[in-house]
Structures are given as structure tokens and as C-alpha cells.
Amino acid sequence: MGKLISIIIRSYNEEKFIGKLINKIYCQKINEKFEVILVDSGSTDNTVSIALKYPVKLIKIPKEKFSFGYSLNKGIENSEGEICVFVSAHCIPYNNYWLAEIVKPFNDEKVAMVYGRQVGDKNFTKFSEHQIFKKWFPENLIENQNYPFANNANSAIRKSVWEKIKFDETLTGLEDVKWAKDVLEKGYKLYYNANAIVFHIHEERYSQIYNRYKREAIALKRIFPEMNFTFIDFIKFFISNTFNDYINAKKEKKFFKNIFEIPVFRFMQFWGTYKGYKYRYNYLTKRLRERFYYPPEKNRKEVSSTIKFQHVEELK
């Protein structure tokens, strides 16, 4: 490809994994040159000091301006690459070919966005989350995806397209889904590369799972206003997904280990989705920022941007 690549990482209190991520980035086997940009929104732990042990460009943004779209736009504005790669600060590339794989499809000039596969970590990822990863990040690639789904925990975009279509800074999440929708409508291609793999490591309490799905449902309602998620949908999806997880857990001989975790996770997932759809929301307020992005000091942990798109497809 022969183009400079800008790798953009959003961070907030990610000291546990940021060093592992950046070290793995600099182990990548790729001929193209790349730069690493850290967009930090006020970390109070050692995230920044760890990151600066590596050749990283640091961009600091204030908490009161943070949104997923805003942080990405600021990172891209300060980038020099023709291709911008996004990876979550709590994702670790699966191997040393992740970067080469995520940028490979841009040889096709019509490709605007590529997103890669995500798999859970055996030590941290909850069983139900493993099932979601398997469903929405399958092993087979999709060269010309015709529906608006992508995930900026592991993705890349063409900067020249971004210059025409910026990320929506007013959404509480799913800025990647909105961007995918916008570029599809402009006639560009989306590409899912199952060979560009990362471990996506979630260490969320159940309250954070509820918070994440509520935040994403609020955004989803704005992106697809014709869609709905009723109380009946909540009951239906909670029961069916819990039942399917139990079947898979039994097949994998993990039933008793997860017998209580599975229904609690699924309840938080779909109850959060239901409450998000019920939420009256017009723009990203200070109150929403504090609630969704910066929980109280004793509960501080970045809310992940992994996208759960299941109810979008099933409600069509």
C-alpha cells in the first residue's frame, strides 16, 4: 500500500493494558510506516506515563468535551496518515499481522472503512459476551458489507473520506455505526476482515454492563429513529438469549460455572437496552457525560465501546 498509517488510541485510566497494547503495536510485521497517537481524556492513573515510554504522540482533551466521536475527530485532526486505525486501549492484537490485515483492504479505493474481528479473553470476558463476539465477529470475512455495522474498538478508515464525513460528536456511543451508515449512503464500501483480530478485554461490573447498553440504545434510537424496543422485546430477548447461552454453556461444559452469571448479564444487557430506548434525549448533556463516561471515583473504569448490534438486526 505504501501509505503512512496513523494508529489512534482513546484512553481514560487504562494503565493495566495500555503498555501491553502499545508494545504489541510496535511488534507488528508491516512494511508501511506508522505513528501512534494517544487521545487521553484526563486519566488520573499511570496511563499517560506508561504510554510515553514509547514513541507516542499525546493529545489531551478535557473531560467536559469528551464523546467517542469528539476524541476520534481530535485524534484524526492531529494525524498525518492517509489511513487511520482505531484500537481500544483495552484491546490487544491477537498476533503480529493485525495491522497489516486491518489496512490491506484499502487497496480498493472504494473501501472507506474496515473493521476486524474481536474475541474475548479467557480470564476476564463473561460467557455471554463470548457468545456475542462469536455472533457479530464471525470467522468469515465480508468484502462488501451492505448493512451499517462497524466497531471502532478495532477498525480503520480512509482519512480522505473522513474529511468529508466527520464522526458525530453528539452521540452517546455508536459513532462507528453512524459513520458506517453515512459512508454506505454515499456509495463507499465497508469491509469486515476476520483476519484482523484483537482480544477485547472487558472488566465490567453488572452495573457497567447496564450502563453500556443503555448508552448505546440511546444512540441507536437517534441513528435509526424508525426502530423500537418494547418491554415485550425485553422479555423475549432476555429469555431466548439466556436459554441459548445455557445450551452453549452445557456443550462447552461450562454450565455450572456460569449458571448465575448468564441470566444476570443478559438481564443487564436487555434491560439497559429497553431503558435506553425509553430515555428522552436530544443532545449529549454534561449529565450524560458524567453518567456514561466518568462514573464516581470509587467505581471508575472506562465504559467500553464494544457495540452490541443484535437487537438491530433481529428487529428488522
Instruction: For the chain, give every domain's residue range.
Output: 5-200, 206-314
Q: Are 32 and 82 in contact (CB under 8 A)?
A: no
CA quadruple 2, 154, 316, 161: dihedral sign: negative
Strand partners, 10: 39
Could you report the per-residue pLDDT of 120-159, keeping only the tens digit for each? 988 889 999 999 999 999 999 999 999 999 999 999 999 9
Amino acid at residue number 72? L
Could you give the CA distance from residue 62 to residue 309 in angstroms, rounded to a whole number?
Answer: 29
pLDDT at 65: 86
CA gap 169, 228 in Å, rounded: 23
Give residue-wise pLDDT tens across range 179-237: 999 999 999 999 999 999 999 998 888 999 999 999 999 999 999 999 999 999 999 99
In the prediction, which pLDDT does 122 show?
84
Report the pLDDT value the prediction gives residue 286, as an integer from 0 to 100.
57
Give the three cell numbers for residue 59. 493529545
Above 90 in pLDDT, residue 305? no
The confidence score (pLDDT) of residue 307 equals 35
pLDDT-wise least confident of 101-105, 193-197, 305-309:
305-309
Kindly state the average pLDDT of the residues 11-15.
93
What pTM was estimated for this model as a whole?
A: 0.87
Give the CATH architecture of domain 5-200: Alpha-Beta Complex (3.90)
Q: What is the mean pLDDT of the chain?
A: 89
CA nearest neighbour of 83 among 138, 176, 161, 142: 161
- In this structure, are residues 38 and 48 in contact, taking their beta carbons and an 8 Å threshold? yes
Q: Please list the residues that pair with 60 across neighbouring strands.
A: 40
- 237-280 residue pLDDT tens: 999 999 999 999 999 999 999 999 999 999 999 999 999 999 87
pLDDT recorded at residue 312:
35
251 contacts: CB under 8 Å, gap ≥ 6: none
For every residue of 237-255, DSSP letters joined together read HHHHHHHHHHHHHHHTT-T
Neighbours of 188 (CB within 10 A): 19
Assess contact for 190 and 112: CB atoms under 8 A. Answer: yes
Only one residue has cell 474475548, namely 120
Phi, psi of 294 (to 5 degrees): -130, 80
Cβ–Cβ under 8 Å, residues 149 and 183:
no
Among 13-22, 95-104, 127-136, 198-207, whose mean pLDDT is lowest? 198-207
What pLDDT score does 64 carry?
83
3-state helix, strand, coil split of the chain in percent (to 5) is 45, 20, 40
Distance of alpha carbon 45 from alpha carbon 249, whole angstroms: 37
Closest by Cα among 208, 254, 236, 199 to 310: 236
Q: How far apart are CA 152 and CA 143, in angstroms?
A: 18
Per cent of the chain over pLDDT 70 is: 88
**pLDDT score for 167:** 97
Say whether pLDDT at 161 is over 60: yes
pLDDT of residue 298: 41
The DSSP H or E segment spanning 93 is: strand 91-93
Alpha helices in the chain (DSSP H): 18-25, 47-51, 68-77, 98-103, 127-136, 159-162, 175-185, 206-223, 231-251, 261-278, 286-292, 310-314
Query: Tens digits of per-residue pLDDT, 28-82?
Result: 999 999 999 999 999 999 999 999 999 999 999 998 888 999 999 999 999 999 9
